[in-house]
Chains A and B, each alone.
Chain A
Amino acid sequence: MALYLGLTLVPILIGSLAAVSCALLGNFLVLRRQSLMGDAISHVVLPGIVAAFVLTGSMSAIPMLLGAAAAALLAAAMIEIVRVYGKVEPGAAMGVVFTALFAFGIVLLEQTDTGSIHFDVEHALYGNLESLVWLAGIEWAALIDPIALSDIPPQLPRLAMALVVVVGFLAVAWRPLVISTFDPTFAAAAGVPVRLVNAGLIILVAMVSVTAFEAVGAIIAIAMLICPPAAARMMTDRLLPQIAWSVAFAILAAAGGYVAAGAGVALFVEGVAVSAAGMIATVAGVTLLLAAAFGPRRKGAKA
């Protein structure tokens, strides 16, 4: 039990917080057929981080987060410009913008001397959840020890904050969000600020993928924005139960994936490490596959 709290529970908690924040917003992306917006935004986080590093010269969290958020918003705006002024279909517009920005990020990274600082693309893609342990939290007593508490990985409170913001946004914007998701024309006619709601959703997706990305890498963000809500769609026709299912699937994938990655270590030769982020995304995919094969509402009524 001694190892349990700081070494296992904390990474699982971090993974779950990231997963739940993503899944909550993902429900609306999936319903609005904007799932790939999450994909595009997660890809442009990399150039944002590199640009922030080039501009400030520091690797600290705040400029990185700001840079990534700015890049995400810039990308969303560029996609909109290409779509509207270039009359390009949305999927292709996303493809053009995010590959161009990602390529720019890689070139910037290669041309900048990041020298001894640990920064590489692989880390950006699949994070390092395994390293986010709380060494001071070996004993349960550490939970009330302020010195030990200060040693908690900063990603934990940051992701908790992100989750609070997401839940707050859903609570405040619930009605306009739901109406504009299911019937944008009616929403506009009824005076709902549809564009504002759309922009708010995209900004929150950017914020969540950036915080999640910093803790667990881009692939968990993409997988969690899409897989749990998609699986939840197979279980019910109603929005609130769907959101509840997606949260359950997200936690299942985060915890199950982390444990499975740990078990994978024991399965293979001593010293073999398996990426927890990769495993979490895999479990999320398997959950969706099972839901798509056996879920009670898998056929639904396709609009």
Chain B
Amino acid sequence: MDVTAFIDALTFQAGYNTAIVAIGAIFLGWAGGTVGTFLLLRRRSLVSDALSHATLPGVAIAFLIMAAAGGTGRYLPGLLLGAAASALAGLAVVEWLTRRTRLHADAAIGAVLSSFFGLGVVLLTVIQSAQIGQQAGIGSFLLGSTSGMLRSEAITLAALAALCALTVVFLRRTLTLVAFDETFAATTGVSIRRADLALMLLVLAVTVTGLRVVGLVLVIALVIIPPVAARFWTERVGRMMVISGIIGAASGFLGTALSASIPDLPTGPIIVLVAATAFLVSMLLAPARGVFANLRRARRYARAFRAGLASGEGA
């Protein structure tokens, strides 16, 4: 590993694009961590898996439309719009299957993610074999990539990520209310359906923004891993949201810096691995709910119990 390159990346000295991408990843990690907190509390973490896989047909269709209109097909805002539209369709199908049929959420999610992804693959192979447009950017939606990213793309993504982060901060009270006490939320005039929809749209926004950098297979890690890690540190939702946001932002930052300083290290997977390390440390060592803390507590109870028994016998 090139230490100077790593320090350069950490201090935003590794070039304009890398700096923009790093800032974008920080916002993205923060937004994913905070939004994911509510997704976890609503027990709907894996809905994000259906959303992210469902973006693929939209990306391909947007590419085909833009190529047919005479463009190169790789105009990022257009592709993201397509991704958002088809993710929304996927979400609608998941909701419809769970509300209107006997299927449970797990089957609905699995069905949507595999068949939407299948359709996306069909369209991708059409694009690839027909040699339509400039395809350089399209494969990067699968696994994400930051190398070869245009400056305008980096700026678009950073701005979108900042927007997501701001919206979460703005909506946090409503989301907290709904996550914990649906009845109370309803009596205070909060529409649960609308709050749920807002939560899903935020997850969708984070997913779509993260696609190009982290890739559609792994982008869900941004909304799943940081909150699960944060849960070990606290019992309070406000703190959990902040800790989760910090873990997400730090993963985004460290991940982009590491990938900028080591050759052939893809950004998305590294961000995910940094977050996974944070998760592992939290699960083992966190004082509130970590495994070791729980073990120690259990042993203390056992000792106190035995001591109580012993003194009981003596009396």
Contacts and interface: CB of A to CB of B under 8 A. Distances in A.
Nearest to B291: A85
A103 B218 contact: yes
Interface stretch (A7-15, A28-36, A154-162, A171-179): A28-36
26 contacts: A86-B232, A91-B44, A92-B40, A93-B228, A95-B220, A99-B217, A100-B272, A103-B276, A106-B268, A106-B269, A111-B264, A227-B114, A230-B108, A233-B103, A234-B101, A274-B129, A275-B121, A278-B117, A278-B121, A284-B114, A285-B112, A285-B114, A289-B93, A292-B100, A292-B103, A300-B101
A135 interface: no
A87 B97 CA distance: 29
Contacts of A34: 106
A229 B102 CA distance: 12
B104 interface: yes
Contact of A219 (B101, B114, B130): B114
Given A35-B106, A36-B110, A86-B232, A288 B115 contact: yes
A183 B39 CA distance: 29
Which DSSP category, helix, strand, loop or mixed, fits chain A's interface? helix
Indicate the size class of the contact surface on chain B.
35 or more
B101 A292 contact: yes
Contacts of B118: 219, 223, 277-282, 284-285
A93 B111 CA distance: 20
Interface residues of A, number: 70
Interface of A: 30, 33-36, 38-39, 43, 82, 85-89, 91-96, 99-100, 102-104, 106-107, 110-111, 121-122, 125-126, 219, 222-223, 225-227, 229-230, 233-234, 261, 264, 268-269, 271-275, 277-282, 284-286, 288-289, 292, 297-302
A281 B100 CA distance: 22
A85 B44 CA distance: 20
B134 interface: no
Interface string B151-181: 0000000000000000000000000000000
Given A36-B109, A95-B224, A103-B272, A230 B265 contact: no
